[in-house]
Structures are given as structure tokens and as C-alpha cells.
Amino acid sequence: MRLLRYIKYRKSFITGFLIKTVEVVLELFLPIFMAALMKKGLEGGNYKDGYLMVGLIVLFCSLGYMSTVFAHKLAAKVSQDFAKNLRQAVFYKVQDLSIEDTNEFSSSSLINRLNLDVSHLQNGLAMTIRIASRAPVLMVGSIISLFIVSPKVALILVIGLPIVIVILIFIMYASMRIFQKFQTQNDKLLEVVKDNVEGSRMIRAFAQVEHEESRFDDKNSVLSSIMVKLGKITSLSSPFTTLALNILLIAMIYAGALDINNGQMDQSQLIQVITYTTQLTLAIISVMNLILLYTKTYSAGIRLNKLLDKQNSIKEEDNLILDNKPAKIEFKNVGFGYGDNSNNILNHINLVINPGETIGVVGLTGSGKTTIIDLIMRFHDVTEGEVLINDINVKNYNLTSLRDGIAYASQKAALLQGDVKENIEMANDYGNEKVEKALKEAQSNFILKRDNGINEEVLRQGVNFSGGQRQRLALARALVKDSGILILDDVFSALDYMTDFKIRRELQRRDLKQTTIFISQRLSSLANADKIIILDGGRIIATGKHEELIENNDLYRALYETQVAGGAKWLN
């Protein structure tokens, strides 16, 4: 029910519902006109009344047809707009959630919720207007009309109808449970497909094509078996329901025939009984199909509500704005661990970065270097202590302002489909000259030499560029911002040493003064930093300049000699 708030055209929904009700009322009059046509026109020889009944039948059929067309048009309008609003809400929710929150849902699950689950709810809403508004009224109207025509015949229907209802309830319950399994397994299958598309080069390089095909076949077989099971239940529903209703119809016709022989009913009344029973049968079959659709809608609604009800763990405690001046950054006894894990990734981090300073961060793999950046950007919140910018806790800044005030290039160079300029500007308007300047500083001159220049197309995930080219474009995206803080997270890892040197030279020549945090495994990239911190096991074990650390810190000296002198003695 909570998802109904995404229905924008509520008046159209109600109007469509009422129009379908009018259509049913018109349809319920048809057996009366048919009986009058048979009794007065055909049997009584009163052709004037017969023509009148024919005219009324044509009129009511035409009105019913026009109302159906109009109601279906409203159903399409309401359901399509509902799907648009719901899809938008789901997408916005995914954007608003923190990285840690979205990790609870796999990417394939999010895609299925955005597409398949929304489509199921859209179809459910459309069918609510087209069928749910019609079938119950037609069922009730047919039963009341049967009681008016022949209470004894109608009583047979009332006695047998619970059997049909029991069958429908069983089908609904069984199919609902199976469809929930289908959704879960469909997410797993899509995850395999996604892995193979994104990791196609690695899979071929390690000759794992057959293994991945086997992995896909296993998931696909499970999904297929679930669908077969669901198909068996739904395929049995129609024969069982139709059989039960036909048995009831035979019993009712038999009882009606006995009443005709006894003079308690005429043939025109029997025609009414058969017509109303046929209408009732069609209504029940429609309800049965609607129930099968609602099982999918119900399961989809549960999944979407789970996502939409998810509370963002990153909350804004205030709405302060971060300016673009070089900022002071401070860590006060910071500790951090993922989720409920009792083992912290970072422990007792105490660090002060003064405005305009350039800080290098180095450490072994898994020492927590990127996690420090995540805490500044508020991709995660600290478990212990606090992170301050300009002596204000980062939680007190407006989240958009905080991230907009930081120029950030990550170790994973992510590019969006579009063109180079769009990827550099990220919905801002910096102008061609500034974009080209940033590209030159990032040693991305190869873009400027191409025919399309900064309008060069970028395919999905930047697959039309090499790893080093993607990294330089991601760096240009950070350099084009006039932010007070610049964070470069291992952005030189895919670059050769000459390009690395040229970029560092350009950074030193920049007029813009920024507080810079530079993470790198290459110590030569950090040599000119104002100070370098060394992380090991989630703790800061040393701080100092490049020359001081070579002389005084064993780990830094080991890293230096490994990179510069080969480090033979450290490998023995």
C-alpha cells in the first residue's frame, strides 16, 4: 500500500475504475434484453418490442465498448506514470544510500528491482483498473441477477463456489512462494552474466570460458526448474477452475430444465441463467489470472519496499557549507571498522594536515590508505573519534557541499558513457579552455590531437581507452575543479614513470593553492611532499619527510630500496 503514493493521477485512476464499473452494469442488462427479445419478439410475435430489444442491445454494447476503450486509455496513462515515478524513486534512493548501504544489495538485484519489479507493479496497477474493477462487480451482479431469476438455481452456484475459491487461494499461496524463489535466483543469474561481461578479458586470459559456461548453466538450470514448477501450478489452475465451473453450469442447467418441465421457469429465463453463469465464469477466470499477476506484484512490492525503506547510515547533522579555500584536515583518535566487524581497519589515527600542505600516504596493501580518504569524503562514517575540516566535524557539513568542495581522483578510473568533456565537467560548465588546460596538466594531450577533441566519444566504462588513458582522464576531472582540497588516490599506478614525472611537475606549477593528499605506492611520487605518513596494520607508525623516513624507518627504507635498488636483501 505504501507504494500507492507514487500514483500521481489519482483522479484518472478513480475515473477509470468507475467507468469499468459502468461497463459491467451495461453488460448485466444484456441478458435481460436477450430474454425479452426471445419471449416477446420471437415467441410472442411482437416484432416492435423485438426490434426495440435489438436496438437496446446494440446501444448498450456500443456504450460498453466506448467505456472500455476510455478506461483502458486511463489505465495506460496511470500505470505508465506510476512506473516512471516509482522507477525514479528507486534510482534516487540508490543514489542517496551510502556505499556501505548499497553493498547490502547486489548490482544485479538493484537492476532487477529497477526494471522487472517495477514492471510487475505497473502491470498490476493497470490490471487493477481493467480487471479488478470489473470482475468483482460482475460476479456480485451475476449472482444477484441469478437469485432474481431463479433462487434455486442460484443456490447451486453459491454452494459450489467455495470450492473454486479454495482452489484459487491454494494457487495464489503456492505461486507466491515459488515466484519469490524465482526473483532471488534471477538475481544470481544476472550476477553471473554481469561478471562475464565485465571480466571477459580475464576469463579468456585464464581459459575459464568452459568453467563460466558451466557456472551459467548451473544457475540457469535452477532458474528453469523453478519456472517449470511455477508453470505446472499455474497451468493446472485454469483446467481445475474451468472444470469446477462447468460442473456447476451443468448442474444449474439441469435444475433449470427441471423447472421448465414443471412450469416454474420458461426458456427465456433459462437463457438468462446460462448467460449470467457464463459471465460469472469469465469473471472468475479473470480473477484467477489477476491473482497470479498479484503474486508477482506482491513479491515485487516486498523487494522494492525493502530498498525504499532502507535508512541511509550517512546522516547530515547540520547544513554547513564547505568553501573552496585550502582547508585544514584533522583526524582525532579515529577508528573504523566495516559493519558489525569487531576488528577495526583503522585504529587510533591522529593526524593534522594544515591548509595548503601536501601530504603523502604510503603503506602496504590493506593498511587502510583508501579508507582514510573514504572517511574524509564520508563514504563511511568513523566508528571512533572524529574527522574535522577547518575544525568542524565533517558530519556537520552539507553532504553535497562537502563532496563538491573536494577534488577527488580514485585508484579505479571510472568513466561514464558520453563524451570526454561531459566526463571532465560532470554536469558543470567549466568551458572548453579550462577543460583543455586540465587535460594538458593530466598529460591527456592524446585527446586534443584527435579529430573530435574534447567531444571524443566515451563508451561504457571507457572501454575505448587504455587503462593509463582512463586514469589520466579521471585525474583531469579532479584537476578541473577549483576546490580547496585535492585527493589523489594511487592515480599513477597505470602510468609509466616519465608520464608520472610530467604530471607531478605540472601539479607543482599550478597557481591554485590546495590542501593535497597524495596516496601512492611509488615513493618517487611522494618525494616532494611536505610530509609523508606511513600506515601499517591500520595505524600510523611514522611521519616525516622523504629523506628522514629513509634514514629512520625500516619499512619505508625497505620500500625505497625495493623500488630503487631492487631490494635484494629485503627479499631474502
CATH number at residue 463: 3.40.50.300
| Average pLDDT, integer, range 226-234 | 80
Q: Is the pTM of this model over 0.85?
A: no
| Average pLDDT, integer, range 227-250 | 77
* pLDDT for the residue 40: 67
On the question of pLDDT at 8 being above 60, the answer is yes
Selected residue with higher pLDDT from 167 and 381: 381
DSSP designation for 458: E
Q: Which of 313, 344, 368 delimits the end of a domain?
A: 313
| Average pLDDT, integer, range 85-95 | 89
Q: Do residue 305 and residue 419 come from a single domain?
A: no
Residues 296/120, Cβ–Cβ less than 8 Å = yes
DSSP designation for 6: G
Nearest to 495 by CA among 460, 466, 463, 519: 466
In a domain, 243, yes or no: no
In a domain, 386, yes or no: yes
In a domain, 1, yes or no: yes
Burial class (CB in 10 A: 0-12, 13-18, 19+), 315: exposed
On the question of pLDDT at 179 being above 50, the answer is yes
User: What one-character-per-residue DSSP string does 365-409 give?
Assistant: TTSSHHHHHHHHHTSS--SEEEEEETTEEGGGB-HHHHHHTEEEE
Q: Do residue 302 and residue 371 come from a single domain?
A: no
CATH number at residue 112: 1.20.1560.10
Give the pLDDT band (50/70/90) at residue 269: confident
Residue with cell 489477476: 290
Q: What angle do CA 401, 404, 406 make, to 5 degrees?
A: 115
In a domain, 491, yes or no: yes
Q: How is residue 220 written as a grid cell? A: 540457469
In a domain, 453, yes or no: yes
pLDDT in tens, 451-461: 888 999 988 88
| Average pLDDT, integer, range 402-427 | 88
If you average pLDDT over each of 170-174, 470-474, 490-494, which comes out highest? 470-474
Sign, Cα dihedral of 116, 117, 122, 128:
positive
For the ranges 18-32, 39-53, 280-294, the lowest mean pLDDT is seen at 39-53
| Average pLDDT, integer, range 137-160 | 81
Q: Do residue 128 and residue 41 come from a single domain?
A: yes
Q: Which of 313, 345, 368 delimits the end of a domain?
A: 313
390: left (phi over 0), alpha (psi -120 to 50) or beta: left
Selected residue with higher pLDDT from 238 and 522: 522
Q: Do residue 305 and residue 362 come from a single domain?
A: no
In a domain, 42, yes or no: yes
| Average pLDDT, integer, range 238-244 | 75
* pLDDT for the residue 230: 78
Q: Do residue 431 and residue 561 come from a single domain?
A: yes
Give the pLDDT band (50/70/90) at residue 258: confident
Domain count for the chain, please give it.
Answer: 2
pLDDT in tens, 99-120: 777 777 877 788 888 888 899 8
pLDDT in tens, 431-454: 889 998 999 988 988 898 888 889
Sign, Cα dihedral of 426, 428, 433, 434:
negative
Q: Do residue 143 and residue 48 come from a single domain?
A: yes
The pLDDT > 90 percentage for the chain reads 15
* pLDDT for the residue 571: 43
Selected residue with higher pLDDT from 116 and 564: 116
On the question of pLDDT at 172 being above 80, the answer is no
* pLDDT for the residue 340: 67
Give the pLDDT band (50/70/90) at residue 521: confident
In a domain, 270, yes or no: no
Domain that holds residue 496: 329-565
Q: Do residue 338 and residue 437 come from a single domain?
A: yes
In a domain, 545, yes or no: yes
Q: Do residue 409 and residue 512 come from a single domain?
A: yes
On the question of pLDDT at 242 being above 70, the answer is yes
State the chain's mean pLDDT as an integer.
84
Q: Name the strand (E) or helix (H) holding 198.
A: helix 151-198
Q: Do residue 340 and residue 477 come from a single domain?
A: yes
* pLDDT for the residue 568: 45
On the question of pLDDT at 350 being above 60, the answer is yes
Residues 137/71, Cβ–Cβ less than 8 Å = no
* pLDDT for the residue 565: 59
Q: Do residue 303 and residue 416 come from a single domain?
A: no
Give the pLDDT band (50/70/90) at residue 342: low
Q: Which of 313, 345, 370 delimits the end of a domain?
A: 313
516 by DSSP, 3-state: which? strand
Q: Do residue 408 and residue 541 come from a single domain?
A: yes
Q: Do residue 78 and residue 134 come from a single domain?
A: yes
317 by DSSP, 3-state: which? coil
* pLDDT for the residue 1: 63
